[in-house]
Amino acid sequence: MTRETTTRGTNYDKQPTIAISQDASLCVSGWLAIVAAARNARGSAECTVVVAECYPGVDTDEVRGGLDAFDAKTILSAETALKSAGELEEILSPFLGDDPVFGRMAGWRLGSLFDEGRTASLRKEIAAARGLVLVYGTGAAYVARQWDVLLYCDVTRWEIQQRQRAHRVGNLGANNERATAAELYKRAYFVDWRAADAEKHRLHDAIDLYVDTNLPLGPKMISGDSYRSALAETARRPFRVVPFFDPGPWGGEWMRRHFDLPKEPPNFAWCFDCVPEENSLRFRFGDQIIETPALSLVHEHAEELLGSSIVQRFGAEFPIRFDLLDTVEGGNLSLQVHPLPEYIAEQFGMTYTQDESYYLLDAEPDAVVYLGLKPGIDAVRMAADLERAQTDGMIFPAEQYVNKWPVKKHDHVSIPAGTIHCSGKNSMVLEISATPYIFTFKLWDWARLGMNGLPRPIHLRHGLANIQWDRDREWARENLINPVHVVSRGEGWYEEATGLHALEFLETRRHWFTEPVLHDTQGTLNVLNLVEGREVVVDSPSDAFEQFVVHYAETFIVPAQVGQYRISPLGKADKPLATIKAFVRSSA
């Protein structure tokens, strides 16, 4: 089978939905309708306590105003029982430190952020109240303890980040809306979201009404049962999360052209196309859409989604990340290194690190990857040059120390933790990696400013402590650069191992095909991207789920419990198509 790689143009779906029901009446819109639904949630039973639990980042003023229609006799904000801003800063400081990016994971629970005395006072007020009591805000269910109706008001991570950048939301109890977006994100990432995610998981089975508050003044609601059913249904079939796009100092133009993105941003650097901690899901009920954080699916259906071996190894953590890095007509990524497993555990409390790889979805003739150290370099001199570049404004001579490798479309470069690397300009990279999110140690950022007009943080101490100095040009050539080999074949298809290094816990397989290919999750999570061809259809040999269409460059997730699934060209294939699939290697 002769390959031709001439994909041009796409029909990439920027707002994928998951069809749950044809019944649009299951979803209601507007606060008046939500209040009416809440009044009916307990049937004929008298309703005395309504709790509106809010994820951090929800506009609690809007929630409070929207629920005025309850005409409650007593209205209490749970957040008045939080510890003071000074107390919170004192207890969180050892975990957040003064680094602008990194903190330490500590498994925060919501109750640890609340003042015992103020919480007890609110509980007494609830117990003594007569008539309807409304308790709202983050921690409302923790404060109330018991209720007649529980509304869960949610918002996605990407929407929270937009609100942080616009200074419309601060951190829990901090009164810091005017802080920088980076400061707000860091505190939310290490504290607020961890605590709120644990609380959401605790409340999951008790939610009576689930409220999507992503659209200001446009809330939508489904019943708790519908919400739980939607998550369970998603875990039984292939699906996509909602991608989001962001500019960056090195960003390019490939995605704007191919994905029909807006003209306003200066560029598009990233597309997060499978990062469930950050991405969302869009559930469709008739013509109505409910948007919800994808992380809830991970937490509530870990075994079905991830498989028992991944849960035993990582817990309820989605360990595979696919994202797109666009440098076409842009610049080099920062020269960087990722922490070794023992380092990220000791320094940051993370259980695994960011092994990664670059799959070249597209590349201009001059595209390169910086990877591995040149033979015989002086590590002390290199460290000194990096330090001078940081403190004295010297231009770091990267090409004296780091290898440049020409790359072309469909090359695959492995980057185990500890390997110095970055993508050069004029490439479109599908980054396939493990998922510890923000733990990248920048060593050199090519003397440029970030999107906010300020230098981006450099982490030389961490970076130099993790560079593996023996990973030189020869080692990289033998171990990391496109070590592809065929592992199986059938009529109209063949399968290649694309060569992730044995140090990495992910495996990748590429299938080239003109005829249907049968896959099997074998009880573990699969993540795939269509890297060649306009579109394919994914279906079940046993009709266990509805057909699912995937377009060029789209990432999709196949839950562990799906088992067998088939990927076929949509229509007659005149040229070979290709998918790249990632899964966690067996730890046995």
- Most confident stretch, 100-104, 291-295, 446-450, 571-575: 291-295
CA-CA distance, 152 to 306, in Å (whole number)? Answer: 25
CATH code for the domain in which residue 38 is found: 3.40.50
Predicted local confidence at residue 454, as pLDDT: 87
User: For 49-53, what is the mean pLDDT?
Assistant: 97
Instruction: Inform me whether the pLDDT recorded for 3 exceeds 90.
Output: no
Q: Which of 308, 384, 332, 323 is nearest to 354 (CA)?
A: 323
CA-CA distance, 186 to 96, in Å (whole number)? Answer: 8
In percent, the amount of the chain with pLDDT more than 90 equals 90
CA-CA distance, 192 to 183, in Å (whole number)? Answer: 12
Contacts of residue 584, Cβ cutoff 8 Å, sequence gap at least 6 = 309, 310, 313, 319, 320, 505, 506, 507, 524, 525
Three-state SS annotation for 222-286? EEHHHHHHHHHHHCCCCECCECEEECCCCCECHHHHHHCCCCCCCCECEEEEECCCCCEEEEEEC
Residue-wise pLDDT for 163-218, tens only, equals: 999 999 999 999 999 999 999 999 999 999 999 999 999 999 999 999 999 999 99
Instruction: Inform me whether the pLDDT recorded for 526 exceeds 50.
Output: yes
Predicted local confidence at residue 6, as pLDDT: 46
Task: Give the strand order in the sheet containing 421-423.
Answer: 402-406, 368-373, 421-423, 335-337, 441-444
Instruction: Inform me whether the pLDDT recorded for 575 exceeds 60.
Output: yes
42-46, 79-83, 515-519, 557-561: which has the minimum mean pLDDT? 42-46
Residue-wise pLDDT for 383-392, tens only, equals: 999 999 999 8
Query: Domain containing 126: what range?
Result: 18-238
Predicted local confidence at residue 499, as pLDDT: 75
Predicted local confidence at residue 503, as pLDDT: 87
Could you tell me which residues are beta bridge partners of residue 406?
A: 368
Predicted local confidence at residue 296, as pLDDT: 98
Instruction: Inform me whether the pLDDT recorded for 547 exceeds 80.
Output: yes
Domain final residue pick, 179, 214, 238: 238
Give the dihedral of Cα atoms 142, 144, 145, 149; nearest 10 deg.
-110
Which two tokens mark 142?
Answer: 């923790």
The answer to whether residue 153 is domain-embedded is yes
The answer to whether residue 281 is domain-embedded is no
Instruction: Inform me whether the pLDDT recorded for 10 exceeds 80.
Output: no
Instruction: Inform me whether the pLDDT recorded for 586 exceeds 90.
Output: no
Q: 5 pLDDT band (50/70/90 cuts)?
A: very low
The answer to whether residue 498 is domain-embedded is yes
The answer to whether residue 267 is domain-embedded is no
Q: 40 pLDDT band (50/70/90 cuts)?
A: confident
**Stretch (H or E) spanning 366:** none
The answer to whether residue 378 is domain-embedded is no
Task: Output the pTM of the full model.
Answer: 0.96
Predicted local confidence at residue 1, as pLDDT: 61
The answer to whether residue 87 is domain-embedded is yes
Give the dihedral of Cα atoms 17, 239, 247, 317; nearest 10 deg.
130
Residue-wise pLDDT for 390-444, tens only, equals: 998 899 999 999 999 999 999 999 999 999 999 999 999 999 999 867 899 999 9
CATH code for the domain in which residue 565 is found: 2.60.120.10
Higher pLDDT: 462 or 435? It is: 462
Domain final residue pick, 190, 212, 238: 238
Q: 4 pLDDT band (50/70/90 cuts)?
A: very low
CA-CA distance, 535 to 10, in Å (whole number)? Answer: 9
CA-CA distance, 152 to 228, in Å (whole number)? Answer: 12
Three-state SS annotation for 378-439? CHHHHHHHHHHHHHCCCCCCHHHHEEEEECCCCCEEEECCCCCEEECCCEEEEEEECCCCCC
Domain final residue pick, 238, 270, 295: 238
Instruction: Inform me whether the pLDDT recorded for 114 exceeds 80.
Output: yes
The answer to whether residue 35 is domain-embedded is yes
Which two tokens mark 568?
Answer: 């076929």
Predicted local confidence at residue 246, as pLDDT: 97
The answer to whether residue 61 is domain-embedded is yes
Give the Cβ contact number of residue 375 at 10 Å.
10
How many domains does the structure of the chain reveal?
2
Give the Cβ contact number of residue 400 at 10 Å.
11
